[in-house]
Structure 1
Amino acid sequence: MSTENTVTAVVGLGGIGGGIAHRLLATGHDVVVYNRTRSKAVPLVEAGARAADSPADAAAEADVVVVSLSDEEAVEKVVFGEMASRLRPGTTLIEMSTLSAEYARAAAERLAALGVHRVEACVIGNPAMAKAGDLRVFAAGRDEDVERVRPLLGSLGRQGMLHLGETGRATALKLAFNALLGVMTAGLAEAVVLAEQAGIPRETLLTAIQKSGWRSPVLNFRAEFMRTRAYQPAGFRARLMAKDLRLAAEASDGARLPLIELTSRRFAEVVAADDGDKDAAVIVELGSGEGGR
């Protein structure tokens, strides 16, 4: 899809959505943005985007709508409750929210009945990577729909975009990635707690891990939150991690996923402790009994 005379709306300007909107502006797209918290749109307007007054207004003038919301309840409210009546036939909706595969397939059918093409996109990375166009991008949906937005999605990633096939597969891949991230984060947290119980300072353990064969970009990112004990602003909110782990466990279709199920329960405890809006790394404080700051 050429960017010439094409309007792209980005609805949901959290870390990833906001970063993607910045990237689209940097690559020459005409961008309209909307976020419930209006202040998040200000830097984008200053960078050249136009702010819409509502999701419906954003959808009404767009050829492509990128949706990046927290969960199925938000998608139901925003996409089907507010935008659906204003989406023009022929519009492509790119869904980047992490949902269940079952919901994704049903959403595709409902949008198709409106003449709207739905492409789901699983993006792997953090907000800084989104802004830099350094994500990994995996798409699912009908071949012709995915090809229509391949240039746009390709501009977001370091290796272009990979099409996984039928609707539901991209969201399944995202759940698999996030389940692994959740288990790794919980494992790192327990290693910290174990070391601290033995009198080893947190700083010592985390530095040792980061200089060993156990290091990884993902663990390093979470380790910095644990090192500073400052969990906001979050890179990945604990409440979203809890939601994704729950969806992953529910998607098992009879397969045994004991680590994911246990980690899901642990993150549910984090949310119950009123730490859901902090970074997922705050789970280390649940283990230590100190509570997140």
Structure 2
Amino acid sequence: MTSAPIRAVAVLGLGAMGAPMARRLLEAGFDVVVWNRSAAKAEPLRELGARVARTPAEAAATGVALTMVADDEATWAVVTGAEGLLAGLPPGGIHVAASTLSLTAARELTRVHTDCGQVFVAAPVFGRPEAAPRGELRTVAAGPSPALDRLAPVFAAYSAQILRLGEDPALGHAAKLAGNLVLAGLVEGIAEAMALAQRAGLPRARLAEVLHAFLRSPVADGYAERMARGDDAPGFRVALAAKDLDLMDGAGALTRTPLPLVAAVRTQLRAALARGWDDRDWSALVDLLADAGG
């Protein structure tokens, strides 16, 4: 694999995270090629100077292809097929998976890219969509060291912090799932605390002040404040949260790790989905709990 600096990056998947990441790469001076299943989402980036590819294969011909799509299934849909990323990425090219994927998918993607003489790197990100345009995401990266060295300026374009976790790409997705497990417990815990306080007569906003006084966590503060003001505009949608909890459950089964917290939060998220709350932010779990007691 070459050690030449990366000049061009393809971004495949232009949703709430992918589009601002592509903008940050443009602002950092990279030549950016974009692709999205619904082509209309690419037009604002074309106006900013990105080139719009017709297929994932065309986008991947740049040599570095970053995917930011919903899940394992969507990733494989982009990667495989006659016009897929795998077909267009040249030998030595790098596929960077920034989505949250299962450990099984990470291992299989590593295998298929290796078989094709390509490189697979896991680089999922932590941060709500509003952090992406500010370059404040946290990237957890794993893959071959030479590839990570070359990708450092790419990650720096949209990340405030980059953590390198080793040579095995599955470690990046293990870190993302483990980190999201902690977030799931935090969100569920704050939601239960809010429901309890409200039923005891303490307004949610006052409990948010209490939590801020001793937790002092930007993440905890953010979710407590959202729940206090009833703001469930989607940042991390219930549907995506449920998908991630399913991935955590699968990782637990694969590694034979008991995850009782995952089981509990999955139950709550499934109840939210049953109400049709797919597109609400997962902080809406507080309303689920508030309603449950009648």
TM-score for the superposition, normalised by structure 2: 0.89
Tell me, in whole angstroms, the C-alpha distance in 1 between the residues paired with 2:224 and 2:55.
38
1:126 aligns with 2:128: yes
Amino acid at match of 2:10: A
Q: CA RMSD in A?
A: 2.0
Corresponding residue SS for 1:286: helix
1:173 deviates by: 0.2
Counterpart contact for 2:56–2:88, Cα < 8 Å: no
Tell me, in whole angstroms, the C-alpha distance in 2 between the residues paired with 1:204 and 1:57.
53
Q: Which residue of 1 aligns with 2:138?
A: 136
Amino acid at match of 1:70: A
Corresponding residue SS for 1:145: helix
1:119 deviates by: 0.7
Q: Which residue of 2 aligns with 1:274?
A: 276
Counterpart contact for 2:5–2:150, Cα < 8 Å: no
Q: Percent identity?
A: 37
Amino acid at match of 2:36: N
Corresponding residue SS for 2:148: helix
Gaps of 5+ in 2: none
Amino acid at match of 1:186: E
Tell me, in whole angstroms, the C-alpha distance in 2 between the residues paired with 1:149 and 1:119.
10
Counterpart contact for 1:94–1:118, Cα < 8 Å: yes
Instruction: Return the match for 1:193 from 192, 195, 207.
Output: 195
Tell me, in whole angstroms, the C-alpha distance in 1 between the residues paired with 2:77 and 2:225.
35
Structure 1: 4+ residue segments shifted above 4 A: none
Gaps of 5+ in 1: none
1:131 deviates by: 2.2
Q: Which residue of 1 aligns with 2:91?
A: 89
Tell me, in whole angstroms, the C-alpha distance in 1 between the residues paired with 2:145 and 2:200.
55
1:150 deviates by: 2.6
Corresponding residue SS for 1:289: helix
Q: Which residue of 2 aligns with 1:79?
A: 79
Q: Which residue of 2 aligns with 1:213?
A: 214
Q: How does 1:212-251 map to 2 (within 5 A)?
A: 212-232=213-233, 234-251=234-251
Corresponding residue SS for 1:251: helix
Amino acid at match of 1:221: G
1:109 aligns with 2:115: no
Q: Which residue of 2 aligns with 1:17?
A: 18
Q: Which residue of 2 aligns with 1:2?
A: 5
Corresponding residue SS for 1:9: strand
1:240 deviates by: 1.4
Aligned residue pairs total: 285
1:161 deviates by: 4.5
Corresponding residue SS for 1:33: strand
1:276 deviates by: 1.7
Q: How does 1:57-68 map to 2 (within 5 A)?
A: 57-60=58-61, 62-68=62-68
Amino acid at match of 2:195: V
Amino acid at match of 1:36: R
Amino acid at match of 1:208: V
Corresponding residue SS for 2:214: coil
Corresponding residue SS for 1:25: helix
Distance 1:16 1:68, change over 3 A: same
1:69 deviates by: 1.0
Tell me, in whole angstroms, the C-alpha distance in 2 between the residues paired with 1:2 and 1:122.
22
Counterpart contact for 1:15–1:126, Cα < 8 Å: no
